[in-house]
A and B are shown apart, each in its own frame.
Chain A
Amino acid sequence: MSRYFYYLVFVNMIANVVASVPKILLLEKTEGAILSMVLALPLGLVLCYIVAKFFNRFPGKGLPEIMKKYLPRWFTFPIIILIAFGWFMAGMITLITYSFLLKRFLTPDMPLVWITAIFLLFISYGILMKTSSVLYTVEFVLVCCLPVIFIIIIKAYTTAEMEWDFVKESMMYVYRLPTFSALAASTYLLLGGFNLIIFNRFFTKRKQKITLLQILFLGIVAFGSLFTTYFVPIGLNGFEGVETISYPWITTSDALRLELGIIERVLFVFLILYLAVSFLSLLIHWHVSLELFRSVIQIKRLKWKEKNLVPYIIIGVFWIISLQLTKYLTEHQLTIYTSYFFDGLLISFIAMVGLFWFILRRAKA
């Protein structure tokens, strides 16, 4: 695959380190979180391979175009709406999590709604861009952020405060049976490839097949990030009581210090980096969501100065729902709902594989 495919996967992988995934995993620390992660790795990779392989067959086409061609309209419409809503929720979780995070750590004086609104302002511009522009933005931000994130992770592993004894202690629960929510949360890390349902419009060349070597590479990176997501907070914060921390990774990064840096507390570097990466994650998810909605909701008459207003109305709805939800949710509720969302997502993605199989059958016939 071209390099842009990796970015889609990586953004999902990195963005969720800071969000709810480690929190959900740590809640299951005595209940088989480790085995869930071990299981999630092959499961996620297989899903990743299937989706890449499927879209390789239809170069330059997104899921809406493919479904419209091979499936009846009454079936396409609700499915696309459902998927679009799923992607909208995925972005929404990132948005609200990060707004909470900013409120708590970076700008405690600002009202929550104001923080969310600033995010929404830039996101609204971003998701209206061309698909290729979204990918160029993602690439540039990632290229800037990844080296620094890598250095921070190296620092976390090598710092004297990292106690491997805690990690060993957590390893004692490796025999516990995996739980579904831990499995779903850790698989979510690998599901960035599913953004191809819209971004495949950009991949127009047929020869870019996904190979097993590339999957192996993704697997190694995924192993690294799952391991880091789960064990570094335990090693730095201790095994006991780590699940009570609301943002395990933020607290973890605050344990690190740059002795000679202009910015002494790694926390702030980390926050800004993750602000950027979360923004990318949100950008990708909502771009997919908006494009999906647009592909099925077409009202030709709704025009003003030769511009179709439908996308703007959809964005307006995005704004209203996000602002209302931000006001309504608490941090605890957010974690619980996120967990439910991941559970549902895993099931529906497996259902989506069924859909791909169905489409392939129709396409061959």
Chain B
Amino acid sequence: MPLKGKKQVNVDEAIVGILEELKLTGDVVHKPLRMDDKEIELLYIKTVVDGDQLHQLIIKPFFELGHLHHVASYLNSLPNQQEVQSQEQILLDLTKGSVLVKLNKDLLLFDVKKVNTNTVRETSVEPTILGPQYALSEDLATNINLIRQRYHKPSLTVEMHEVGSKTNQSLAVIYDQNVVKEGVLKEVNSRISELDQDIVQSTTQLQRFMNNRTRSLLPTMMATERTDRIVYNLAGGKVILLVDGSPSTVIAPAVFFDFMTSMEDNYGLYWVTKFSKFLRYLGLFACLILPGLYVAATSFNPEVFRVELALSIAGSRIGVPYPSFVEVLFMLIIMELLTEASIRLPKAVTGTATTVGGLILGTAATEAALASNIMIIIVAAVAISTFVIPINEMSYAIRVIRYILLLFASIAGLAGLALALIGILMYMTNKDSFGEPYFKIYFNQKRAETGDNPS
């Protein structure tokens, strides 16, 4: 609704006030359009407004239409007209790319923002062989469009919020009204309203701000860039959060097994996907326990394995001058450094880093008797199997958990390793994600297991 100017003074005052607020900004345009007895005023910020669209929508019609009340009715029937509520809101919308039009005694606001970030990118974080190859863009409207294009249902609801007390980013909460769980939706909304961050720039940041804890290890919301995963989860009754300017979404609630699922599991044949799932859990298990198992088997319980294996492990450690946990720690840390470096380095240099690192981790370390041959194999197996976990946050968390297991294996051998594994399990079962238990076995139908009291 236009701010009805019963008294003309108000509208003029408002414009003066807005100009006062924006006076230091160099890219403000305040332009009166005049022709014969027609007159309107435009006020906008040049850099966020799409000039072509502005010209097409407002300036050209103004000069073509015969009379001022034709212009008024034309402008009032434009679909991208926005509500005018207060001076603050006008200011905020101006910074987002709206144009303020003063028509007679009315203020009208039109959304003609220019977006340069709406190119849809190819999936880079979670690639699949089959399935859609394009991910999201960095523009909220485009992203919602992408999701709606894949989920045609009138019950799909998009709620808009604003987050970040300084940046005022738009945050979209998307869910399917028919299947969403009321409790989860309520929880999500209440946590959004409790957010008191100055700056929220990425959707994944919400993950940290919204879990009610200052310190946490495992992710309880799933970040994804894949539209098919988003749609799959929407249909499953989950809530999707999207921040403007971020090419990924977060999904809530998310339980442990969600992080171990690749979208490709839905596209392949039954036994093939079962096999790849099995591989994934095997990888998870291997990268968790192998370092600890090595320490336990060399320093505490060499008798556990069969004699031949025990002897070959002991044989390959000949010449290594320090206890096994130092050896493992040394090699693991170098491996982590290598991984870290290849993420951060510019693409051109990555090759060098991996080659040099490969040399260190490879034969050189064993020839210098800094690590045993079997250790090299273990580190390689651990490094590879860490990346089998489909969702990045989870594989980072697993990386950390590995060291906890290593610590207890160094303190108490196999018993320590087994107890620490149960300890991690307890940590996971004790967690919950927006009211859903984070880790439990689902034997029954989904609806029977996810109720408020699934006994």
Contact = CB atoms under 8 A, between A and B. Distances in A.
B415 A268 contact: no
Given A129-B429, A262-B309, A136 B439 contact: yes
Nearest to A130: B430
Given A102-B415, A129-B430, A279 B422 contact: yes
A136 B429 contact: yes
Contacts of B330: none
Contacts of B437: 132-133, 136
Contact of B455 (A130, A133, A137, A203): A203
Interface string A118-133: 1100100110011011
Contact of A107 (B305, B307, B415, B439): B415
B425 A140 contact: yes
A261 interface: yes
A126 B426 contact: yes
Interface string A192-213: 0000000000111100100000
Given A2-B455, A4-B455, A139-B440, A129 B305 contact: no
Given A133-B426, A139-B440, A268-B304, A118 B416 contact: yes
A261 B429 contact: no
Interface in A1-53: 2-4
Given A106-B301, A107-B300, A137 B422 contact: yes
A263 interface: yes
Interface residues of A, number: 41
Q: Which of B307, B416, B430 has most A Cβ within 10 Å? A: B430
A264 B416 contact: no
A125 B404 CA distance: 15
B340 to A, nearest CB: 30
A119 B419 CA distance: 7
Among A110, A114, A122: residue with most chain B CB under 10 A = A122
A359 interface: no
A2 B453 CA distance: 12
Contacts of A4: 455
Contacts of A114: 412
A139 B305 CA distance: 28
A275 interface: yes
A141 B455 contact: no
A107 B408 CA distance: 13
Contact of A106 (B306, B413, B430, B439): B413
Interface in B428-455: 429-430, 437, 439-441, 443, 453, 455
Contacts of B18: none
Interface in A273-292: 275-276, 279
B411 interface: yes
Contacts of B416: 118
30 contacts: A2-B455, A3-B443, A106-B301, A106-B414, A107-B300, A107-B412, A115-B412, A118-B411, A119-B419, A122-B422, A125-B426, A126-B422, A129-B426, A133-B429, A133-B437, A136-B440, A137-B422, A137-B426, A140-B425, A140-B441, A141-B422, A202-B455, A203-B455, A205-B455, A262-B306, A264-B305, A265-B303, A268-B301, A275-B418, A276-B422
Give me the 3 closest cross-chain CB pairs, A-B, nearest first: A264-B306, A136-B429, A136-B440
Given A107-B301, A279-B419, 7 more contacts: A4-B455, A118-B408, A125-B423, A137-B425, A140-B441, A268-B303, A275-B415
Interface of A: 2-4, 102, 106-107, 109-110, 114-115, 118-119, 122, 125-126, 129-130, 132-134, 136-137, 139-141, 143, 202-205, 208, 261-265, 268, 272, 275-276, 279
